[in-house]
Amino acid sequence: MKETEVQIEDITEANLQDIPESCRGCVYWEFPEEFDKAKLEKIETQKRLEFEEKKRTWFVQTLKEFGTCGKIVYYNDKPVAYAQFAPSVRLPNTSHYESKPVGKLEEGVVFLSCLYIADKALRGKGVGGALLKNIIDDLKRRGYQAVETFARRGDPENPSGPLKFYIKNGFILKDRTNPEFPLITLFLKFLSQASHEMKQVFLSIADILSEIFSAKRADDFIFAWRERFFGCYLFHK
């Protein structure tokens, strides 16, 4: 895939209609009490349009209060992927997960709620990694301290994707009260720089271990050691 074929754009009021169809009317994070995931596919047109309008209003308000809170990836000018991130207070469903506490904007923490490559043919080609990097660079530029998400350990079916993807991109464990949906963090300031080489060492060890053991056991190894080196010290656990 040539770089020139892929473009990552901030979501603005002008391109809201380019959010992939399955995400455009999804209000799972924003209005959890109204969202019934089991019924989303079967939802009648009227309700879907209502949700789309709610999501649109959410974006307009969040753009006003927080600034850029989403990205769209275009491949040959066609929207193929989407990401959403915002202060956790704008995403009330974050408080319904067992792993906690989710960081607040006052602490400089932004929550990554969705990262989704809608076009299945483009998965596993680096688009997700490039989109995540674009978000990280954006949040760093804006001076935030950290970005967090709930990753999923045993299944890629998850609004922001699987744990393995985030481990690969340098995230560390914050809390795993629910081991299937741990809360993970990426520090955007000095610590992420200072620990960069250390992370590379861990990742190399993990790669060797994944060859020898199952991927899950390798993940456990990374968690145990990252927790020991970074987690205890940072989160007083």
Ligand X SMILES: CC(C)(COP(=O)(O)OP(=O)(O)OC[C@H]1O[C@@H](n2cnc3c(N)ncnc32)[C@H](O)[C@@H]1OP(=O)(O)O)[C@@H](O)C(=O)NCCC(=O)NCCS
Provide the 10 A C-beta neighbour count for residue 78. Answer: 9
Q: Per-residue x/- marks for ligand X, 89-128, CB under 6 A?
A: --------------------------xxx-----xxxxxx
Q: How many residues touch ligand X (CB under 6 A)?
A: 19
Residue 79 makes contact with ligand X by CB under 6 A: no
**CA-atom Rg of the chain in angstroms:** 18
Nearer to ligand X by Cβ, of 13 and 207: the residue is 207
**Of 217, 115, 206, nearest in space to 162 by CA:** 115
CB of 96 to ligand X, least distance (A): 16
Which residue, judged by CB position, is nearest to ligand X in the bound state?
128
**Of 64, 90, 74, 86, nearest in space to 15 by CA:** 74
CB of 42 to ligand X, least distance (A): 16
Using DSSP's 3-state secondary structure scheme, residue 134 falls into: helix
Residues of span 152-211 touching ligand X by CB under 6 A = 156-159, 161-162, 164-165, 168
Burial 154-182 (b: 16+ CB within 10 A, else e): eeeebbbbbbbbbbeebbbbbbbeeeebb
Nearer to ligand X by Cβ, of 104 and 125: the residue is 125
Residues of this chain that interact with ligand X (CB under 6 A) are: 115-117, 123-129, 156-159, 161-162, 164-165, 168
